[in-house]
Structure formats: structure tokens, C-alpha cells
Amino acid sequence: MWATSQGDRTLSADEAQLVLVSVGYLHDMITSGVDLGETYETGVVMFDTLQPTQQMAVLHEVAYGLLDEDTPLVELTAVREATVYAIYCELESLVQLELDLSAQGKSDFECRARILRACQQINDQSSQWDDDLEANPQFDFDPPAQDCDDVDQWKRVIEALADQVLWDRDFQLESAFADHDPQKVKAIKQYMGINDDYFAVAAPDASSQEYMQLHRELIGLAQSLKAVESSG
């Protein structure tokens, strides 16, 4: 379970399946990076500075927190929220891959179709969420058509989807706090509602054996959720 901007919840249905696609892609890219001796980069600095074993370990934590209803509520930390954002940013990569295929005459709308279904689900279920929550589950713009080839429009939608999970982007502030007086930083954090340990909690790591176990468990999570989608 995850403490999202729309309350403590486990993602479900189309929203969950969309995130699962990106988790699977990010998992594959991390694994490929290990094989090549390189660290995979998503554009999210805090996630990209982790070692591959750390990336896999925190991806495992976050994926289970978001998608597995039996996982207890996960504590929000900077590295975990950065990983959530990395998952959503990878959707942009998947949209770009689709557009590249389309330019080659290979029509493929799978990711864009999933994005639109997730948007529709959120709009449909928004009436069930708490009206007092800060984030607005209703989108204040019309999503693009499924065959839209404007990447910027899809980025806007993906950011809105990420907002349904992330309260904000506080994890991006770590470098801004680095050179300031600790007492001033503490006061700023209190004002912004940032927990003292938010940046201090390190990313988990995994030994070679543990890495393979996490790898297998992520594959198992994906298979179980895909089975639910197929049966539905």
C-alpha cells in the first residue's frame, strides 16, 4: 500500500496495469545495464545516482508498495518517491518508442491506449476520493487522441498521472539543502512538512544472490497482475 496524494491505497485496474508496464520496462533496462556494466539513467537524478543493485532493490520496494495489496503501507522517503517518479518518467520513453515505430510504419498504440484508460479510470473513481485532499483527481484538460504524436502532450498527461500518487516533488530539493545551515534547513523542512528523515534514509541494496531474488519476485508480481487483467 502507498500513501498517495489520493489517500492510502494500492493501485488497481488500468492505473495499476500502466504502472506495471513501466516497472517491467525499467526492470529490463536495469538488468541490461548490469549485463553491460553500466548504470541505467532515467533522468531522475536521485534514482540515476544509485548503483544497479540499489536501483533494483528500491524498484522492488516501490513496485510492491504500489501494486501489491498485501504489502503494508510503505514509508515515504526521498529515494522511494524519486523511484516512483522514475517509473512514470519511463512512460515517456515508452511513448517515444511507440512514435518511433509509428514513423517506421509499425502502428502501435498500446502504451498511449493504456495511458488514456488510466486517465478515464481516475476520472471515473474521483468521486470516491476525499474532497479535502490537496491533489485534484480530475484532469483540468482533455487528454490527446490515442494517435497523437506530440510528445509534449503525452508528457503533460503522464505528469498528471504521477500527481495522483506523488504529493509533490520534494525529493528534487536535496541538492538545494546541501549547503545551507542545518538549523535553517530544519526550519524549512518543518514549514514544508518534510520529515527529518526524508532525505536521510538510504536506498536499500542487494547482494548478487538477493539481486536475483528481487529480479524473480518482480517478474512474479508482473505475472500475477497480468493474470488478473486477463481474467478481468
Which tens digit of pLDDT belongs to each residue from 1-45? 999 988 999 999 999 999 999 999 999 999 988 888 888 999 999
pLDDT in tens, 184-208: 666 666 656 677 788 888 899 888 7
pLDDT in tens, 81-104: 999 999 999 999 999 999 998 888
State the pTM of this model.
0.87
Q: Which residues contact 106 (CB under 8 A, 6 or more apart)?
A: none
Please tell me the predicted confidence (pLDDT) of residue 197: 81
Q: Which residues contact 206 (CB under 8 A, 6 or more apart)?
A: 53, 54, 56, 57, 213, 214
pLDDT in tens, 157-194: 999 999 999 999 989 887 666 666 666 666 666 656 67
Q: Are the CB atoms for 168 and 134 separated by under 8 Å?
A: no
Q: Are the CB atoms for 116 and 147 separated by under 8 Å?
A: no
> Average pLDDT of 123-138?
58
Please tell me the predicted confidence (pLDDT) of residue 11: 95
Please tell me the predicted confidence (pLDDT) of residue 133: 47
96: nearest Cα among 160, 38, 153: 153
| Residue 153, pLDDT above cutoff 50 | yes
Which residues are 66's β-sheet partners? Answer: none
222: burial class by Cβ within 10 Å (0-12, 13-18, 19+)? Answer: middle
Query: Which letter does DSSP use for residue 7 in this model?
Result: E
| Residue 229, pLDDT above cutoff 50 | yes
pLDDT interval class at 124 (50, 70, 90): confident
Assign 106 to helix, strand or coil.
coil
Alpha-carbon distance of 49 to 70, in angstroms, equals: 30
Locate the domains of the chain by residue range: 2-168+202-231
